[in-house]
Amino acid sequence: MSKLVEYKGKKLLSTYGFKVPRGVLICSVDEVENAYALIGPGVLKAQVLVTGRAGKGLVRFIESKQKLLSNVRELLESKAGNLLVEELLYEEKLEIERELYAGVIVERQIGAPVFLFSSRGGSGIEQIARDYPESVYKSVVDPDKKAESANFIEGLEQTGVNSGICGAVAEAAALLTNCAIDMEAENLEVNPLVVTADGDVVAADCHLTVDDYAVFRHPEFNIKIARELGHPPTQLERIAWDVEKNDYRGTFYFIQLEMNFQKGQGYVGFHGAGGGGSMMSMDALDAYGYKPANFCDTSGNPPASKFYRAARIILSQRNIDGYFGSGSGVASQEQYHSARGIVKALWEVNPDFPVVLRLGGNGEDQAIRIMEEYTKPLRCKVRCFGKDISVSECAQVFDQLVKNYRQGGIPVEKSMENTHKKSYEFQTVSGGTVSFDYERCSVCANKVCIEGCSAGILQEYNSCPVLSISKDEAASGRCVECLVCEVECQAMGNGGGKVTLPLSGLEGVDR
């Protein structure tokens, strides 16, 4: 589920006529003077996707410009746990007479949105509903009908809302409901919904969650990544999302779990396939004291090119102590595609830490051979296993390799080089390029690229590989990006083939 930070949610509410506090967004200390001139004494709130911000020191009351400056500097330059604070909302301080709670939440049990209200406020709304049921009003919402304030009057009165403010609260309830339906919200909560000393009903805070698959219909959300990350997206997460959103073949999910760690602290680049198997694999690592720096899932039969991009992103994390890949162990996808994708990434990065993989499933024997033979020229130690080796055994091997590496290190060898001259090339569906150096291809004895082409779209002409289909057909998806043209060619042929798969932005990541 995708979430919007507070100020974005309030901005949407205000377009529906909902009253919100006057506020200004602060992203740097240079904006402090203007913010204080507009608001004066107020409340400073970190715009991070967590609950209980006040208890974490992320909501602060400000009495002077100097205090605003010092607090803005502190929050923007420091990290609260694993949270990166990039934006702050500075709002007027409200004179609050009463706190209420209002929300529209999709209930899966009944398959419909419901309006939920509490006259006692909403901190622990579930507990309030159990302990003080008379203070809670709940009503099923018809998404095909526009909500009117009159729909809510009777229910609100039953919770103890007095007649003096009931009309204004009912109007806010109708606006909230219509906004939630229009925004396709999984939940839209105003907590607290406050009644001020002047009798205004104002959204003092706002929480909006939207189904990832509805995001594309709502550019007004300005959501860059339709994932529930819990933090502002990192550069690697942005790169990974661009891969996923532009390539429908299989699943690729990547999220960074930890970013501020040093070498030797036991953080691992984790590459899973399937949720259950991935969880079991991470538990096996945990038993030896290792922690995932990221979570990654490539499942649903993605092509070798997608595996490559996933592995390349995982390997770009700074200070990891190793790369561990393991999923369900019974995957139906051909594991040699996975192996070729990871091998290409390892060739390019040439890491100095251990790599352990469990590629169980179809073609696992071939995958194991590819992983262990084709990575021998690299400086990293690579071990690969099939489904008959448990994840616990794989984690034990990984642990020993890491300890050996820490004790004495691994001699650095020169990584593979490829001085490649393009004689013939064509584009692929994910924006890649397959090219051949005919000086090398013409004297290649085995033409492994043609023999191993998964799609069977290459043929020999004048002792060199060419397409047997049009270049447009290859670019439309007939080339399945199996990476045989590079990986098998470099390892078993004469090194004339190369596959270039762009990862926009990755060149700027400092490993």
Q: Which DSSP helix (H) or strand (E) runs through 92?
A: strand 88-92
| CA-to-CA separations, 1 to 209, 271, 431, in angstroms, rounded | 6, 22, 28
Q: Which residue shows structure tokens 């995957």?
A: 331
Per-residue HEC secondary structure of 172-205 comes to HHHHHHHHHHHCCEEEEEEEEEEEECCCCEEECC
Average pLDDT over residues 63-68: 96
Q: Of 272, 269, 232, which is closest to residue 251 (Cα–Cα)? A: 272
Q: What is the pLDDT of residue 189?
A: 94
Mean pLDDT of the residues in the chain? 91
The predicted model gives 220-234 an average pLDDT of 80
Residue 119's nearest CA partner among 154, 189, 169, 167 is 169
Q: Of 290, 299, 340, 293, which Cα lies nearest the Cα of 313?
A: 293
Q: 10 Å Cβ neighbour count for 391?
A: 23
Per the model's pLDDT, the better-predicted residue between 217 and 36 turns out to be 36
- Percent of the chain at pLDDT above 90? 74
Instruction: Please report, rounded to a whole number, the percentage of residues in the chain having pLDDT higher than 70.
Output: 94
**pLDDT tens-digit profile of 252-287?**
899 999 988 999 999 999 999 887 889 999 999 999
pLDDT at 163: 87
**pLDDT higher than threshold 50 for residue 8:** yes
pLDDT higher than threshold 70 for residue 508? no
- CA–chain centroid gap for 158, Å, is 43
Q: Residue 510: which pLDDT band, with cuts at 50, 70 and 90?
A: low
The vertex-446 CA angle with 441 and 447, nearest 5°, equals 50
Between 80 and 219, the more confident residue is 219
Between 237 and 407, the more confident residue is 237
Answer yes or no: is pLDDT of 211 > 90: no
In angstroms, rounded to a whole number, what is the distance separating the alpha carbons of residues 118 and 125? Answer: 7
| Cβ atoms 473, 456 nearer than 8 A | no
Q: What pLDDT was estimated at residue 418?
A: 58
**pLDDT beyond 80 at 80:** no
pLDDT band at 349 (very low <50, low <70, confident <90, very high): very high
**Partners of 379 in beta bridges:** none
Q: Is the pLDDT of residue 192 over 70?
A: yes
User: What confidence tier does 332 reach under pLDDT thresholds 50, 70, 90?
Assistant: low
Tokens 């990039």: give the residue: 86
Beta carbons of 73 and 66 less than 8 angstroms apart: no
| Residue 283: per-residue pLDDT | 95
Residues 6+ apart with CB under 8 A from 401: 322, 354, 356, 381, 383
Query: Across 415-489, where does the E strand assignment appear?
Result: 424-427, 433-436, 458-461, 464-467
In angstroms, how far is the first alpha carbon of the chain from the final one? Answer: 30
Q: What is the chain's length?
A: 511
pLDDT band at 331 (very low <50, low <70, confident <90, very high): low
> With the C-alpha atoms ordered 178, 184, 187, 190, is the resulting torsion angle positive or negative?
negative
Angle, helices 6-15 vs 163-182, to 10°: value is 100
Place of tokens 């596959």: 499
Q: pLDDT of 397-443, one tens digit each?
A: 999 999 988 665 555 554 445 588 999 999 999 999 999 999 999 99
Mean pLDDT, rounded, for 464-484: 97
Per-residue pLDDT at 414: 46
For residues 40 and 171, what is the distance between their CA atoms, to the nearest angstrom? 30
Q: What is the pLDDT of residue 497?
A: 96
Q: Report d(CA 258, CA 93) in Å as an integer.
A: 35
Domains and CATH numbers, the chain: 22-92 (3.30.1490.20), 96-221 (3.30.470.20), 235-408 (3.40.50.261), 424-506 (no CATH)
Is the confidence at residue 88, as pLDDT, over 60? yes
